[in-house]
Chains A and B, each alone.
Chain A
Amino acid sequence: MATEQMKARTEAKNGQQTRDWATDYDIFDPDYVRDPYPVWDELREKCPVAHTEHWGSSWMPTRYDDLFAIAQDFQNFSSREILVAPIQPPPDAEASPFYGVRAPPISSDPPEHTWARKLLLPHFSIKAVSVYEDETRELANSLIDRFIDNGRADAAVDYAQQIPPRVIASMLGVPHDMADTFTGWVRNLLELGLTNPELRGPARMELLSFLNNQIMARREKPTDDLISKLLQAEVEGEPVSHIHLLGTCLLIVIAGIDTTWSSIGSALWHLAQHPDDRRMLIERPEIIQNAVEELLRAYSPVTMARVTNREVEYSGCPMKENDRVLMNFPAANRDPAKFDDPDKVILDREFNPHIAFGVGIHRCAGSNLARMEMRVSIEEWLKRIPDFRLEDPSAVTWAGGQVRGPRNLPVVFP
């Protein structure tokens, strides 16, 4: 889309305001949230590393090669801040019992990052997550049972949103009926709370209190769940500190819920509109793994931030110390310099080195879990509901910011 058209569109929306995406981007702009692709195309072409002064100075690379290079350079680009909108701690923050709890290893740099990540990885291997596959399949079917006779459902609210929090609850050994509470906390922390500290503070406090109690209970009476296993882990002969463990449990909840739910939702949004792709998956079930990778590429949900450790000039951009860099992995995955026909979803695409899970030392630790949940959710949906379509395209709503995916997705089926 031409710049003038983009400006006109934003102008129409905001009344008098004109937005130049290269120098004044806004990831919360409602048009951008709904359809970011034209903006990325234009930026990649004309100003591949965009800048904004919204929420402090931040930069947004959009080309695959730039995302790759910055992600590998953890010495200049730190992960100590992963959200683009700076969070002002409340004045009494230091009095909180959870002062100083972070989310390692996503919020860590080496050397802490190295051992903090090793602590988690064995529990998220392909083999480790396969333990949850059968129950994920049962869960998907029990959700479908609730709405299949109605001929309609909200594929986001009634299905995609329901799956990840229950799988995470199983891993942590907490009751499934906590799932809706988890979802509420995560939305208030990362979606609604990203720009609204009033929601964020209490959600963080409640979630940390809950996890703190769970950890204390496992100390008393260990079971075979992930919290108990992390409690038994040692780093250089020492148990891991309570504050670290609490942060890691926080990460497992906040990283594994709205992200995967967004991916499952986007996949169903795509399939609802592409009968040929539904047919392809039904006739050639063996391509499901390629299809999951392709849907991850085309509808990558997650954008993480980095913060500069020092003054850096990257690709001609004068980044100051403590500037944020918004790692637009989703835009990289639609870069025509890397992928043929990037805007086309080709479910059996064979060349697909997408970086939806990031790249470099912070590659998403839960990627195997996310893939399993996506694969199983799509397979079970198509077995039961092979034919479906959007009930009303204008009723679909999207969450944006740093995790993008459908939040309302009404579909109908015969």
Chain B
Amino acid sequence: MKVKVDQEKCQGHNRCFVVASELFELDDYGYAHEVGDGTVPPGLEEKARLAVANCPERAISIEED
């Protein structure tokens, strides 16, 4: 599983980072980016789904293996 933040849509609500700081990082302005290539380590799938569900901008997508 991989997560990806659409940089055009992210408005820096930071909800993904609060839910799953293992999977997302923030730049100086608060815009989010997936950590590394977005690969979700085993056991964090639920957090990835929560991050998608709570993003008010619908900016995060999941690519299932």
Contact = CB atoms under 8 A, between A and B. Distances in A.
A122 B29 contact: yes
Contacts, number: 51
Contacts of A353: 15, 53-56, 58
B11 interface: yes
Contacts of A40: none
Interface in B18-61: 18, 26, 28-30, 50, 53-58
Contact of B28 (A122, A289, A360, A367): A122
Q: Is the interface of B mostly helix, strand, loop or mixed?
A: loop
A354 interface: yes
A121 B29 contact: yes
A122 B18 CA distance: 17
A126 B56 contact: no
Given A361-B11, A363-B13, A126 B30 contact: yes
Indicate the size class of the contact surface on chain A.
20 to 34
B30 A368 contact: yes
Interface residues of B, number: 18
A359 B56 contact: yes
A360 B57 CA distance: 7
Contacts of A45: none
Contacts of B54: 293, 350-353
Nearest to A364: B13
Contact of B50 (A124, A350, A360, A367): A350
Given A125-B30, A361-B11, A289 B18 contact: yes
Contacts of A352: 54
Nearest to A127: B26
A367 B13 contact: yes
A59 interface: no
A190 interface: no
Contacts of A368: 14, 30
9 contacts: A122-B28, A125-B29, A125-B30, A126-B30, A353-B15, A353-B58, A355-B56, A359-B56, A363-B11
Interface of B: 11-15, 17-18, 26, 28-30, 50, 53-58
